[in-house]
Amino acid sequence: MKIYLAGPDVFLPDAIEIGRRKTAICARYGVTGLYPLDNAIDLAAADASLAIFKGNEAMMDAADAIIANLTPFRGPSADAGTIYELGYMAGRGKLCFAYSNDPAIYAERVARSFAVSKAAGGHLVDDDGLTVEDFGLPDNLMMIHTLDLHGARLVTPRERPQDIWHDLTSFEACVALAADADRATGKSD
Amino acid sequence: MKIYLAGPDVFLPDAIEIGRRKTAICARYGVTGLYPLDNAIDLAAADASLAIFKGNEAMMDAADAIIANLTPFRGPSADAGTIYELGYMAGRGKLCFAYSNDPAIYAERVARSFAVSKAAGGHLVDDDGLTVEDFGLPDNLMMIHTLDLHGARLVTPRERPQDIWHDLTSFEACVALAADADRATGKSD
């Protein structure tokens, strides 16, 4: 089983090292991790961003599953590129797994950064008057339920780890789920 | 042609009215707008979020194209649910169109909310030391280039409109692009 390893990990200063650690964990479980090494592309080239897109899309097309790092990124939700990739893989009918190193629910997280209040109808709204999703889920319902229906429930730690960008405990739990699914379907590399 | 109308519009106080305006614009161009009326679901039911997910997924599967509202939402990037849906439709091989009512580029927008600086390597990083994408694009490259390759370039206004949540000028430009594509392929409802 080939698994596309999506996440804002590629933006970390030690992005390459994190990729090595993730693919090594995959290998231990008998599956192959495909890590989008954006850094392998000449970032000074005029078409660098398009080259990264094409590389990532080809890697996703070659994979049987995705493990997405949905840890909140620059706001209350996950990284935009990672969310896009989760949607793309769901659309392609691939198995979808994900984790978030922040176990808080979405409505709580919005309230950390915005002035959330109750509107006349009793539902939560932000400072702009836009409804805040309040279903007790850790992020937007489209991402959470696609995991429930097309893979496995979002994996979160009981408590936020010290280093949310380098703790791979929940990532490893996703790899175990994927390896189980792989054995169940009898697929192999 | 049936077009799924994705966006955080469903979170607006006048979400239903915006949906009416959007589907009316579609009708004027001879295409059918499908608007995810989350509000039609009993939000008090225990499985409300799952019912919304299933309704939206079925609506996307029934559509030939998507027009996504990628106006930044609670941070420098677009709404998570909308990004997921754009990815899903791209994965299904549907035509992808989108607009954003904020024409600023992503790196500028991050700098509005975070302390952005230059790292030793010369690239931009945020306060956590994570790289800030700096390709002169309006949002994450995965979303921007999927539009370039699987539909049409992101539509943005020359200047941010007064009311970013209700101005439908760029939405209408997307509908025109979709209707053109519809005529080119000879598809119809």
Q: Using the beta-carbon criterion (under 8 Å), do B13 and A110 form an inter-chain contact?
A: no
Q: Using the beta-carbon criterion (under 8 Å), do B8 and A113 form an inter-chain contact?
A: no
pLDDT band, very low/low/confident/very high, at B121 (cuts 50, 70, 90): confident
**b/e B124-137 (16+ beta carbons within 10 angstroms → b):** bbbeeebbbbbbeb
Give the residue from A36, A32, A14, A64 showing the smallest Cα distance to B140: A36
Q: Check: CB of residue B75 under 8 Å from CB of residue B108.
A: no
Q: Using the beta-carbon criterion (under 8 Å), do B90 and A86 form an inter-chain contact?
A: no
Q: Residue B40: its pLDDT value, please?
A: 66
Does residue B80 share a domain with residue B65? yes
Does residue B119 share a domain with residue B65? no
pLDDT band, very low/low/confident/very high, at A179 (cuts 50, 70, 90): very high
Question: Which of B13, B77, B130 lies nearest to residue A12, judging by beta carbons?
Answer: B130
Kindly list the residues from chain B whose CB atom is less than 8 angstroms away from the CB atom of residue A54. Answer: 145
Mean pLDDT in residue range B173-178: 98
Give the residue from B38, B81, B50, B88 showing the smallest Cα distance to B66: B88
Does residue B83 share a domain with residue B20? yes
What gap in Å lies between CA A156 and CA A101, rounded to an integer?
6
Mean pLDDT in residue range B150-166: 97
pLDDT band, very low/low/confident/very high, at B188 (cuts 50, 70, 90): low
The H or E element spanning position B66 is strand B65-69
Does residue B132 share a domain with residue B72? no
What ipTM was predicted for this assembly? 0.96
Best to test chain A binding among B9, B12, B49 (most A CBs inside 10 Å): B49
Residue B163 to residues A18, A127, A147, B69, B169, Cα–Cα distance (Å): 42, 15, 35, 14, 11
Q: How many domains does chain A have?
A: 2
Does residue B178 share a domain with residue B94? yes
Q: Using the beta-carbon criterion (under 8 Å), do B12 and A126 form an inter-chain contact?
A: no
Does residue A175 share a domain with residue A147? yes
Residue B35 to residues B23, B40, B55, B99, B157, Cα–Cα distance (Å): 7, 11, 11, 16, 23
Does residue A144 share a domain with residue A122? no
Q: Residue B187: its pLDDT value, please?
A: 54
Question: Which of A76, A90, A110 lies nearest to residue B88, judging by beta carbons?
Answer: A90
What gap in Å lies between CA B144 and CA B159, rounded to an integer?
19
Q: Residue B93 has which token pair?
A: 């091989």
Does residue A154 share a domain with residue A82? yes
Q: Residue B102 has which token pair?
A: 């904020």
Judge whether residue A188 has pLDDT over 60. Answer: no
Judge whether residue A161 has pLDDT over 70. Answer: yes
Q: Check: CB of residue A1 under 8 Å from CB of residue A32.
A: yes
Does residue B40 share a domain with residue B88? yes
**Tell me, what CATH number does A44's domain have?**
3.40.50.450
- Tens of pLDDT, residues A24-52: 999 999 999 999 975 567 777 889 999 99
Does residue B152 share a domain with residue B84? yes
Sign (positive/negative) of CA torsion B107, B111, B112, B114? positive
Q: Using the beta-carbon criterion (under 8 Å), do B142 and A91 form an inter-chain contact?
A: no
Any A CB within 8 A of B58 CB: no
- Tens of pLDDT, residues A110-130: 999 999 999 988 899 999 999
Does residue B113 share a domain with residue B21? no
Mean pLDDT in residue range A90-114: 96
Give the residue from B78, B93, B65, B79 showing the smallest Cα distance to B174: B65
Any B CB within 8 A of A141 CB: yes
What gap in Å lies between CA A107 and CA A167, rounded to an integer?
24
Residue B133 belongs to what domain range? 105-137
Q: Residue B141: its pLDDT value, please?
A: 96
Q: Which residues contact A115 (CB under 8 A, 6 or more apart)?
A: A126, A127
Mean pLDDT in residue range B78-102: 98
Query: What's chain B's average pLDDT?
Result: 94
Does residue A95 share a domain with residue A28? yes
- CA A95 to the chain's CA centroid: 13
Backbone φ, ψ for residue B144 (5° rounding):
-65, -45
In B, minimum Cα distance to A115 occurs at: B74
